[in-house]
Structure 1
Amino acid sequence: MKTTAGRFFEDYRVGEIIPHAIPRTVGTGERALYHALYPARHALHSADSFAQSCGLPTSPLDDLVAFHVVFGKSVPDISLNAVANLGYAEARFHRPVWPNDTLTARSTVIGVKQNSNGKTGVVWVHTEGFNQHGDLVLDFKRWVMLRKGNLDAPAPEAVLPELTTVVPAADLKIPHGLDFSRYDTGLAGSTHTAADYEIGEKIDHVDGVTIEEAEHMLATRLWQNTAKVHFDATNRDDGRRLIYGGHVISMARALSYNGLANAQMIVAINGGAHANPCFAGDTVRAWSEVLDIAPTTAPNVAAIRLRLVATTGDSGAFPLRGEDGKYRSDVLLDLDYWALMPA
């Protein structure tokens, strides 16, 4: 037997370390495709000259390029037979990814719990991505609902990992050399720096983008994400392919430029939930809430903690949850992250 149907829920054991194939060298081609797929306009990821004026040797790839590539590496071993990817926690971006870096990944199983229906279960993993020097580029924890391959397999003892809700500002990794002392707000596209935002402030990002099947398929293939629910229309009873949740994250992040143009680099994702599925034809809108603002040790660099929400409805509608505690049906994404911007 030379082919594999992938792993199912009963195939995971807590403590197991799973190295992922295949190394991936990323470059300016990935940047161009990323900016073609999303309306990404943050200046630090768009121009070498702007990045150099901020103390970096060249423009790093968009932070979410690294996230998507490392996530994609994990899919064949973790979520090939997923019903859905449910959420993220404790994601840290340890260093930038530069053009021509080569990324590899591995995951450690940190939790399992069979669902009451006996047909599916949830697996928690800690995934790490490394560059060609063996340096940790990013790591994150995520949990995914998986089908059971053998419905008669006994339920494992439930192990639920303890996850922190927020990466402390003091633990954020600031890229070496980053310096916003000469930051050009005119070139960046906005005069609003960290001092102009208030905790609790909500920002409607105004714009919307309709998700198309073709762009989603291109994105999923670009990240080498082989999850069946994204490719095979016969894999779901409704005959519809799910839009990769990371595609929604990148779309919402790109939309957030209108109102947060100076939130240049993502340095942590505190938590995130894919509240409802997204399908081709849905129009994504976004809003953000400022949760915290903190100083850093880098010159004129502040950290801003943001809640980014993507919806298919009114981008300014509140509350997000109904009386039953569940997300409204039009909420796609609820993401809590730290970004760096001029103080």
Structure 2
Amino acid sequence: MSSPRVYVIHENPEWLPPLAAAFEAEGVPLEEILLTEESPFGGIDLASPPPPGVYWSRMSASAHTRGNTHAKEYTRAVLAWLQAGGARVVNGNPGASSASGLPVIDLEVSKIAQHLLLSQAGFDVPRTVAVFGRTGLPAAARQFGLPFISKHNQGGKGLGVRRFDSYEEFDAYVDGPEFEEPIDGITLLQEYLVAAAPFITRAEFVGGRFVYAVRVDTSAGSFELCPADACAVPGAAPLFSVREGFESDPLVSRYEAFLAANGIEIAGVEFMETLDGRRVTYDINTNTNYNPDVEASSPVSGPRRIAQFLGGLLVSEHAGVNA
């Protein structure tokens, strides 16, 4: 039997190097469970128990954009096996104290689920309508009102995010070749929020505790807000920097309570401060990545904090075993 280690469940090797380096620096053994069709992982023997260790699920809502269309279903199968085997899974199936009862992966791949939970918890969220299929979009837009943005329910990477200021413009988009078909068939129409200043804030949490906040400059007009180098969009990439002093903001404790109530242990939460004084939370990233510029200037490191957190779990879950 292999010695206990941290297993990271994912589908995108391009996002792993900064995390792998952090685990190596902290002396925490890390092994990949790469859930792609070409992966050597291959599958699971349902009659065999999971190897000893701590499992960290960081499946991405945008997996299908990298050709890994079934990665979400593969992850659900692995998580069911791990749960049946009593394995400790971070960002996996909900525990008994979960307010939603939803596996974290269902929150990652559904902005509808995120929106409803945030709203129920008392957070200000953008007015949103979910539309099934393509045919009903023009009528739904006219009921919704201008201006608005569209986005995919199963999103990430700014998928399907566009601003529309006229119904004719939207009609042409829906009927034209540039229309982006959502992988789950659900398009969201959402109110267009005007920021008080051209930035959004992304608060990072590890082990359910605040790490740092990132100020993401959106003055270039990009909707692609993934902080990883691998996500960079030429010509319109936003700028990332540490948002100083945010640790004392009341939102921090509210986000920590929300994450704890829903079994989310590692995440980035995004919100915007609007021109009319609102603080609108609109996204939860449970496979959060970290920006190298922020990491270079922050007194604490997101990846190192993850390695420390999961390394601590590994020791507590397998006390007396040399990991």
Q: TM-score range by the shorter chain?
A: under 0.3
**What is the TM-score of this pair, normalised by structure 2?**
0.24
Per residue, is there more strand in 1 or in 2? 1
Per residue, is there more helix in 1 or in 2? 2
**What is the TM-score of this pair, normalised by structure 1?**
0.23
